[in-house]
Amino acid sequence: MALIKGIPVTLYERAQTGTDDFGAPLYTETAVTVENVLVCPAGTEAVTDSLRLHGKRAEYELCLPKGDAHRWEGCTVEFFGRRWRAFGCVTEYIETNLPLGWNRKVKVERYG
């Protein structure tokens, strides 16, 4: 029995489908459920760093399960009945050095 358990999060994967008349990329989104994602409030340091580096306010950090191969940067995610936007680089840790089921993190900001 696991002592720590994540929740299912809906990830809207983006795929470029073309460009508009001005050359800007057009995307479609496909909803994918990712199980066992840990959702934790962003700490003070993460909020400050994200504002300084990206101009965005991190609300939560998502800990992604080991083996997850989805691309999260810039994608919309949905949990707690709200939509969020992942930003910045995914932080990845050495999988074999972590005893639990998560080895990557990404920050999200409130979206819509």
Q: Is the entire prediction scored with pTM above 0.95?
A: no
Classify the C-alpha dihedral 31-69-73-37 as positive or negative. Answer: positive
Give me the number of domains the chain comprises.
1
The tens digit of pLDDT for each residue in 8-22 reads: 999 999 999 999 999
Half-sphere exposure in the Cβ direction for 26 (13 Å, CA): 7
E strands, the chain, are: 7-19, 25-41, 60-65, 76-79, 82-92, 102-110
The tens digit of pLDDT for each residue in 42-83 reads: 877 665 666 656 677 789 999 999 999 999 999 999 999 999
35 domain residue, yes or no: yes
State what percent of residues in the chain have pLDDT above 70: 87
State what percent of residues in the chain have pLDDT above 90: 72
- Give residue 104's domain range: 7-19+27-110
Q: What is the CATH number of the domain that holds 92?
A: 2.40.10
User: What's the token pair of residue 38?
Assistant: 């840990």
Half-sphere exposure in the Cβ direction for 8 (13 Å, CA): 4
2 domain residue, yes or no: no
80 domain residue, yes or no: yes
Average pLDDT across the chain, whole number: 89
pLDDT class of 2 with cuts at 50, 70, 90: low
1 domain residue, yes or no: no
8-state DSSP, 3: S
